[in-house]
Chains A and B, each alone.
Chain A
């Protein structure tokens, strides 16, 4: 069993829909990261959180430490949100991350 599990693996949505991507982990963590990988391959860090909730524009990330679960929400989705969204956790010391396999999101007009 992977230490970081994401669901769904693939998601197709219509423009304007509310999207949720889930991440569950099995180890104690110091922080959880949500990353976005565009078709060209580059990765951008969206959020790093260790408790509660963070919001940036149309993106919201939440984490429940007791349940070892995090969600990434996208409100009013747009085709430009189409990307792979990756969950990663920091455990042990520093920045050694364990990555999920990613959720491929496609938002259609």
Chain B
């Protein structure tokens, strides 16, 4: 079955450590997105990519980095510069991305990141 796979489900980060969250899709979608979810807040966009080897900052990109070397994969690195990394992270994809009309998004099951 086609879908988006995020791993791990739970991740713990130590002080000063970088951690990487994995997101893989087999939907052949061009666009991929990373969102952060905090209790009582709406999802916020961290980074998005409309095509391989290209990505743009979202609303809260500071302290995060991404790469898009393959169409299927869009890993997110939470760097030590992100001072408040504890949150639920969701990866999503859409077929085209970027240009109207709007498209349906497909989401992964998320990764809960906590700080030790």
Contact assessment for B42 and A93 in the assembled complex, using a CB-CB cutoff below 8 Å: no
> Are A93 and B109 in contact, with the CB atoms below 8 A?
no
Interface residues of A, CB < 8 Å — how many? 27
Contact between B100 and A43 (Cβ–Cβ < 8 Å)?
A: no
A43 touches B90 (CB 8 A): yes
* Interface flag for B8 (CB, 8 Å): no
How many residues does chain B have at the interface if contact means C-beta atoms less than 8 Å apart?
A: 30
With A41-B88, A42-B108, A42-B109 as contacts: A95 and B103 at CB distance below 8 Å: yes
**Do residues A48 and B110 form an inter-chain contact, with CB atoms below 8 A?**
no
Answer whether residue A30 sits at the interface, using C-beta atoms and an 8 A cutoff: yes
- The CA-CA distance from A45 to B98 in the complex, in Å, is 18
B 30-41 binary contact with A (CB < 8 Å = 1; else 0)? 010100000011
Q: What per-residue 1/0 map shows which CB atoms of B86-116 lie under 8 Å from chain A?
A: 0010101010011111111111111010000
The A-B contact count (CB < 8 A) is 76
Contact of A4 among B42, B58, B92, B94 (CB under 8 A): B42
Q: Looking at the complex, which one of B44, B100, B110 makes contact with A94 (CB distance below 8 Å)?
A: B100
Closest residue of chain B to A89, judged by CB?
B102
Determine if B19 is an interface residue (Cβ-Cβ < 8 Å): no
Complex interface bits, A31-73 against B, C-beta within 8 A gives 1, otherwise 0: 1010100001111110010100000000000000000000000
- Is B45 an interface position by the 8 A CB rule? yes
Q: What 6 A-B pairs are tightest by C-beta distance, nearest first?
A: A99-B42, A31-B102, A90-B102, A42-B109, A43-B107, A41-B110
- State which residues 72-109 of A face B: CB under 8 Å: 86, 88, 90, 93-102
Interface status of B43 (Cβ within 8 A of chain A): yes
Taking CB as reference atom, which chain B residue is nearest A30? B102
Output the residue of B40, B92, B107 with the most chain A CB within 10 A: B107
